[in-house]
Structure 1
């Protein structure tokens, strides 16, 4: 009886610890970074070019920032899903631990889907790149030049309709 109780506590503690680590890693990789830390390469062209020949010649820091942030967020979410799947597939885990892991897994998947849906809606409204992080609060990072009062109200409306997050807990910023 004592061994079974300790094993249950150990499995549950492992689940809680892995979930806490996954949340921290997600926060760490999705927090806004100072753009001065991101190094860019500049090149000069001496050839005569027609401006219509190439479309994405002048890639901005915005596109690099959004791509990197989305990649890091995706990696953190994949790590969290993997650790929860390990608990769900573990033969040593008891029923209560598996139920807790299943609930956490469903919550994580729902959060990922909700973030993607809100990003798509905000992209459609703003016309630029967007990064959305949802939790107790909502953080929305928009591409430079896309934020105005109308977009801000539309974003708050989208977030409040899709989630239970109040407008006081919504942070909307524009990438530099």
Structure 2
């Protein structure tokens, strides 16, 4: 059995990010044959600018593109900022979508999950991220929807049931054969 590599892009740069904690908990119990890696350095990726793209793209961009290109699957793990996708994640998607039609995300199965402090768990951000990832060329696994509402004062990464739900989402992403790009 070959190893399946899932690359997680976390939409929060905060040191104490609950989304990062969740994916770290999932990493620790990844199914056999699955490696979950977290993309590092998203905070070092400059805002997308076509003037600095191409052969002269910054090192942080080249590293991100290489991480995505080397992954079998991409998992976006994100909170919701002001009702939408955090800028750091939208920016990462912009960079990995280029060059147009041949970006690192092209034809990669992707899913979007996460938690947020609101009562809906970041659903708007997750929907926006799915749309953006699909437009960028990723193959969105539509039946993976996990928007965990975060209760103030608790840590979902310490809750076995919550971590199991996120681990199940990773397993579904790995097992996904048929994926569709949203219209």
TM-score (norm 1): 0.30
TM-score (norm 2): 0.30
Higher relative contact order (CA 8 A, sep 6+): 2
Which of these two proteins has the greater Rg computed from alpha carbons?
A: 1
